[in-house]
């Protein structure tokens, strides 16, 4: 694991944004923090890649923080997720693929052993939920009343 200088950055939604270059570095830091706090074996992780945000021209661009382009195919991204699921105590994966990359969602869900949550994929929208069911795209829904607009629409979802 490459060590970087300390960071005081915040992510888009207010989360801590350390200077890391690979997803495994973030999980290594979390694992180390859990162990240092005396909670090893008691804490599980959830990951929300929000992959629609880095989906470009049919590929997933993981090149960020000055590392240059690192564009992965859906299969390569699936392999990355599977390594993370194998190596870390991850119990939930939310939006691992772009919201309209139905084939990747379906293929990954066939062997996914954890909660595979559609948020951007489903958008608390009845039509998208039906499409996800038809595609076998995910096994969990993130229901957000404020995402669809009305309580009756959320209930329908």
44 is catalytic: no
13 is catalytic: yes
- Burial of 57-77, coded b for 16+ CB within 10 Å and e otherwise, reads eebbebeeeeeeeeebebeeb
Dihedral sign (CA 61, 48, 96, 125): negative
From the list 35, 44, 65, 144, the catalytic residue is 144
Residues in the chain: 157
First to last CA, the chain: 43
Active site residues: 13, 144
């Amino acid at each position: 694991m490459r060590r970087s200088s300390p960071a005081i950055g915040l992510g888009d939604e207010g989360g801590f944004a350390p200077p890391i270059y690979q997803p495994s570095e973030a999980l290594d830091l979390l694992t180390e923090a859990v162990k240092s706090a005396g909670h090893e074996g008691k804490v599980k992780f959830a990951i929300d890649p929000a992959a629609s945000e880095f989906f470009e021209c049919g590929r997933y661009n993981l090149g960020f923080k000055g590392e240059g382009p690192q564009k992965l195919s859906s299969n390569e991204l699936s392999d990355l997720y599977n390594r993370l699921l194998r190596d870390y105590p991850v119990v939930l994966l939310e939006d691992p693929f772009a919201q309209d990359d139905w084939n990747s969602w379906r293929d990954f869900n066939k062997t996914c052993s954890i909660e595979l949550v559609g948020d951007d994929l489903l958008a608390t929208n009845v039509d998208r939920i039906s499409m996800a069911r038809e595609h076998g795209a995910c096994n969990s829904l993130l229901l957000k009343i404020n995402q669809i607009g009305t309580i009756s629409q959320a209930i329908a979802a």
